[in-house]
Amino acid sequence: GDSVTQMEGPVTLSEEAFLTINCTYTATGYPSLFWYVQYPGEGLQLLLKATKADDKGSNKGFEATYRKETTSFHLEKGSVQVSDSAVYFCALRENTGGFKTIFGAGTRLFVKA
Amino acid sequence: GAGVSQSPSNKVTEKGKDVELRCDPISGHTALYWYRQSLGQGLEFLIYFQGNSAPDKSGLPSDRFSAERTGGSVSTLTIQRTQQEDSAVYLCASSWDRDQPQHFGDGTRLSIL
């Protein structure tokens, strides 16, 4: 079945460092891809999405490009802030049949001042 | 309220008891999802409702789990004869339609003693 694998955390960075959180997927069809974020004490919220190959999703300085050839959707940010400390979830949504969404295990990010 | 509302926020119960978890989706959202998040794990899909269609129950872990959605709005997730491994945070999400981003509630933290 479809699955999502993302790098294990926690990831600890200093403020203004470059961030990459790797995410790869397996899917039989052509899924949509998402990054969700969960800030401390808050619920999950959508960060960005991409619906087809080569699409780039972006929001709040974060970017991720849908790479069909490598089945990847890595999350990047050029300069992290303390306020980016959160848990980040990569997810795919099947676009046929039941439209089920499958989430990765999450990667916790700590940003130090 | 404007967001997805879940109740109770916390539930502690004894092994073997039945529990009911409630989800009020955002008004007008036709799609509703239930997930389970165990400690240190990603989100595990449980069940998905879309309008008046038959729900996708493929993620329910056992026949002790069931869910219904009345009137296309409020949903109840029921766990019968709870076991300790049922302890987790149960998250509900809704979206305008099945191919739109999901909005998550704050979850119900269920603890089975």
How many helices (H) and strands (E) chain B has is answered by 0, 10
Q: What pLDDT does residue B82 have?
A: 97
How many helices (H) and strands (E) chain A has is answered by 0, 12
Contacts of A100 in chain B (CB under 8 A): 45, 48, 56, 58-59
Q: What pLDDT does residue B2 have?
A: 76
Percent of chain B with pLDDT over 90: 70
Beta-carbon separation of B99 and A106 below 8 A: no
What gap in Å lies between CA B106 and CA B37, rounded to an integer?
12
Of A59-63, A92-96, A102-106, minimum mean pLDDT range: A92-96
Q: What residues contact A65, with CB distance under 8 A and at least 6 apart?
A: A50, A54, A55, A56, A57, A73, A74
Q: What pLDDT does residue B1 have?
A: 52
B44, B45, B91 ranked by CB distance to A44: nearest: B91
Of A36-50, B11-25, B33-47, minimum mean pLDDT range: B33-47
Give me chain B's average pLDDT, please: 91
